[in-house]
Amino acid sequence: MSDAADVIVVGAGLAGLVATFELSRAGRRVLVVEQENEANLGGQAHWSQGGLLLVNTPEQRRMGIKDSLESALSDWLGSAGFDRDREDHWARAWAEAYLGFAAGVKRDYLRMLGLTLMPNVGWVERGAGTATGAGNSVPRLHITWGAGPEVVRAFRDPVLDAVARGAVNFRHRHRVDEIVVEGGAAVGVRGALLAPSDAPRGAASTRQQIGTFDLRAQAVVVTSGGLGGNLDLVRANWPTDRFGTFPESMLVGVPAHVDGRMLEITARAGGSVVNLDRMWHYPEGLKHHSPTWSRHAVHFLAAPSALWLDPAGRRLPPPLFPGHTAGNTLRHLTMNGHSHSWLIMTQTMVDKEFDLLGSAENPDITGKNCALLLLRAKKSLMKPVHDFLERGEDVVVGRTLPALVAAMNALTPATPLDPARVEHEAATRDLQLRNDYFKDLQLMSLRNLREYKVERLMRTARPHRLLDPAHGPLYGIRLNMFTRKTLGGVQTTLDAQVVRPEGSVVDGLYAAGEAAGFGGGGMHGYHALEGAFLGGCIFSGRVAGRALGRRLA
């Protein structure tokens, strides 16, 4: 295939692969331009644990979960908090369309591509404590057997088959600097040829320019991702009114090439870019002991039983408990001037609840290894968990609480914990466990969580006292804030066509994935329930590919 194409797709992440897959199925010729090398095909999806939000599935019903589109939509809208007339017009429409997809054909679509879902449905973002507020009322996170790499494979393989047929062509190391607009319509892209790179997936690559390119097509689809790898852009869009001062120690949860460049480039082409102040960053990051990129963070799935403290040793207020509402917890910490927090766990808790998110951190799921899967009964035996316990700079151990607090303070001497305060928080929590009932809302939540058998068997330790030596030693885990997703982006119609600020569309210009706020310029609103965000990439990429397939027929 030559450079002649019907459609140019900018970005070879998951949304780009899905759009290309659908376009090739429709018989369209596709040219995919990507600033990174072949090793990065699939983008951030490769690093994910493969979680997919689905509604009212056989997997849920087998677990005794009663779910519905009505319940999911109520949860989504309560979490999104849409409150901007122009900016949220298409975002809300996309939210409703996406939930219809998640409760409808999404599961069959994935199964058609050969994806298998694990039987245990996860429960993330369990809420802020009210039925109308943020959070999932029931478990909805379905884990792909094979994790993120398997999700990527499902779309990569048919796209590579299309490459072999001459229907698709990849142009790696092509950095787009301009969307070419003529007569009000997008007709191509221009940019710089970057020097070849053999950098491994996720690692920084050279930005040396060795030439230029100018490519033309009938339409352009922007699927370049968000801005989470660009701390300058995160800082520039940081909502100080909601989150306070930007924490300069912020870690980074995505590679540096997730740089947000295409957002401004799309705006220069006439597109409306909105809601960039809505971000989905996390307060639960561990510094990677063997980083692939600068400030590399791994997402620690905060343990349900752990005692969560601010840097002074005060327990976080209800309902800011582990696993409940990451956005609200981040806001509480940053608005109080904090850049990290602490978890205190017993060995018993660590064995059951020390969970790391990501494909590399879960070799049992990623490698489809049933023997390794058995180690989930004692997570500290799994190599990735063991490595962080032994080599991670954010983990300290003590036989007694005073010894543990001393080790924690040695790690953060500029912000020492108050030992008396920590002792008080731990002791008063432990007093609650004398009875089978208690006033402590975290313990109430833990009891509710353990009513779900998947969480009881695989995820939560039997409630016990923190200061009981039989469950020791004690672990102190420093949790750092880290960047992840951009919830805003390019505004699009329900056909993924880019919208101008005054409401008309840019002919020939489309956007999908994180670049479009996963659809419409921000279908998640202020809070996300989607877990790994793969579903939004799949849905919006599918919409863009099918819409253009029809239009160019």
pLDDT digits (tens, 9 = 90+) for 154-180: 999 999 999 999 999 999 999 999 999
pLDDT at 504 over 90: yes
Handedness of CA 157, 162, 168, 170 (dihedral sign): positive
- What is the rounded average pLDDT of the residues 519-547? 96
CA diameter of the chain? 75
5-225+487-552 and 293-481: identical CATH topology: no
What ranges do the domains of the chain cover?
5-225+487-552, 293-481
Across the chain, what does the average pLDDT equal?
96
Backbone phi and psi for residue 168, each to the nearest 5 degrees, phi listed first: -130, 145
Domain 293-481 falls in which CATH fold?
Flavocytochrome C3; Chain A, domain 1 (3.90.700)
Q: What is the C-alpha separation between 64 and 453, in angstroms, rounded?
A: 9
Q: What is the C-alpha separation between 396 and 377, in angstroms, rounded?
A: 23
Q: What is the C-alpha separation between 127 and 75, in angstroms, rounded?
A: 9
Expressed in percent and rounded to 5, the helix, strand and coil fractions of the chain are 35, 20, 40
> Are 25 and 552 contacting, i.e. CB atoms less than 8 angstroms apart?
no
Q: What is the pLDDT of residues 70-121, one digit of tens each?
A: 999 999 999 999 999 999 999 999 999 999 999 999 999 999 999 999 999 9
Q: What is the C-alpha separation between 247 and 356, in angstroms, rounded?
A: 23
Is this structure's pTM higher than 0.95? yes
Q: What is the C-alpha separation between 416 and 315, in angstroms, rounded?
A: 15
> Are 213 and 174 contacting, i.e. CB atoms less than 8 angstroms apart?
yes
Token digits for 275? 């809601």
Pick the CATH number of 5-225+487-552 from 3.30.1490.190, 3.30.420.40, 3.50.50.60, 3.40.50.2300: 3.50.50.60
Count of alpha carbons within 13 angstroms of residue 156, beta-carbon side:
17
Q: What is the C-alpha separation between 114 and 96, in angstroms, rounded?
A: 26
- The pLDDT value recorded for residue 233 is 98
- What is the rounded average pLDDT of the residues 347-376? 94
Beta bridge partner(s), residue 214: 190
Burial class (CB in 10 A: 0-12, 13-18, 19+), 416: middle
